Amino acid sequence: MLLLPLLVSLLSQQPETMSLLKEPLYPPPVPKAERQRFEDDAAQARTALVKDPSNADAIVRLARAQRDLGHPGDSLETLTRALEGAADTPAIHLERGRGFIVIRKFDVAQKELRKAADTLPEAYCDLGFTLYVVGDYKQAHDEYAKCKAPGIFGYLAARRAGVDAGAPPPIPEDPGQASAVRLPGSLTAKTPKGSSSIYTAYLEAVNRLQSNDKAGAREQLKPVLEKQEDRWMEPIYIAAEADYARIAPPKKKKKK
């Protein structure tokens, strides 16, 4: 009897967005303790917004909590309503740009991030990442040059743009660590036991792509994307998915 409620829940769950491989992406699981913290953040932000609907800090806090809970669509709706109402700040455009990255709307993300970049320099980091995942490595490198902490993607953008990238930055051993590369307000899950680190696999895939070994890159990326799909909101997963989408073999059409 316990299977029936679970089945109903799964069937009623709606995807948050579609992957770059045209597969539905559902809200990832959130540990109970973290879920409570995010829900508390959301409740406190809503209380502040009752007092002042134009409170930009509360709007951003609510949007981040919603994204942390695995609902970037709700987060974007919160930010969009704010822009249509009394609040229109660079911080809201920055968060909106980050939300569009998560749902794979990279062109719209770039527009939002550019609106924030003159006031909030950290937007250049997100803008660099957005250009990186669409394969515009030279422009990504240029934007990362304005970013205070370009990290691994700044390094990879330089490498793939054909310029001197210098020494690679340190890569987090445990993707669940706070030091892992992530967007503010996005979930970070740990690597499942028995699986390769997504960072290690991705860097090896990039090495193979730069050696024109597409088959080898596919071999590196495919199992990671399949086994670690709960991490679809993280930049490292988005980058891996973007590269894989460009080299994945076309799906065979079903015979009628």
Specify the pLDDT at position 80: 96
Q: Considering all CA atoms of the chain, what is the largest pairwise distance in Å, rounded to the nearest integer?
A: 61
d(C-alpha 227, C-alpha 216), whole Å? 18
If asked whether residues 195 and 240 sit together in one domain, one would say yes
Residue 54 included in any domain: yes
Q: State the DSSP code for 248.
A: S
d(C-alpha 133, C-alpha 184), whole Å? 18
If asked whether residues 43 and 109 sit together in one domain, one would say yes
154-192 confidence digits (pLDDT tens)? 999 999 999 999 999 988 664 443 333 445 444 344 444
Specify the pLDDT at position 197: 85
Specify the pLDDT at position 3: 53
Final residue in a domain of this structure, among 116, 146, 181: 116
- Quote the Cα angle for 83-87-89, to 5°: 85
Specify the pLDDT at position 255: 57
d(C-alpha 20, C-alpha 141), whole Å? 23
Domain containing residue 52: CATH number: 1.25.40.10
If asked whether residues 177 and 235 sit together in one domain, one would say yes
Answer left, alpha or beta for residue 41, where phi above 0 means left and psi between -120 and 50 means alpha.
Answer: alpha
Residue 92 included in any domain: yes
Query: In Å, what is the CA distance from 210 to each residue of 9, 43, 55, 216?
Result: 44, 47, 47, 11
Specify the pLDDT at position 188: 47
If asked whether residues 129 and 108 sit together in one domain, one would say no
146-155 confidence digits (pLDDT tens)? 999 999 999 9
Q: Give the domain range for residue 160.
A: 121-167
Question: Which ranges of the chain have pLDDT less than 50?
Answer: 1-2, 6-11, 174-182, 184-195
d(C-alpha 49, C-alpha 206), whole Å? 45
If asked whether residues 207 and 186 sit together in one domain, one would say yes
| H-run or E-run covering 238 | helix 235-247
CB 153 within 8 A of CB 144: yes
d(C-alpha 179, C-alpha 110), whole Å? 25
DSSP string, 133-176: HTT-HHHHHHHHTT-S--HHHHHHHHHHHTS---SPPP--SSTT
Residue 158 included in any domain: yes
Specify the pLDDT at position 51: 95
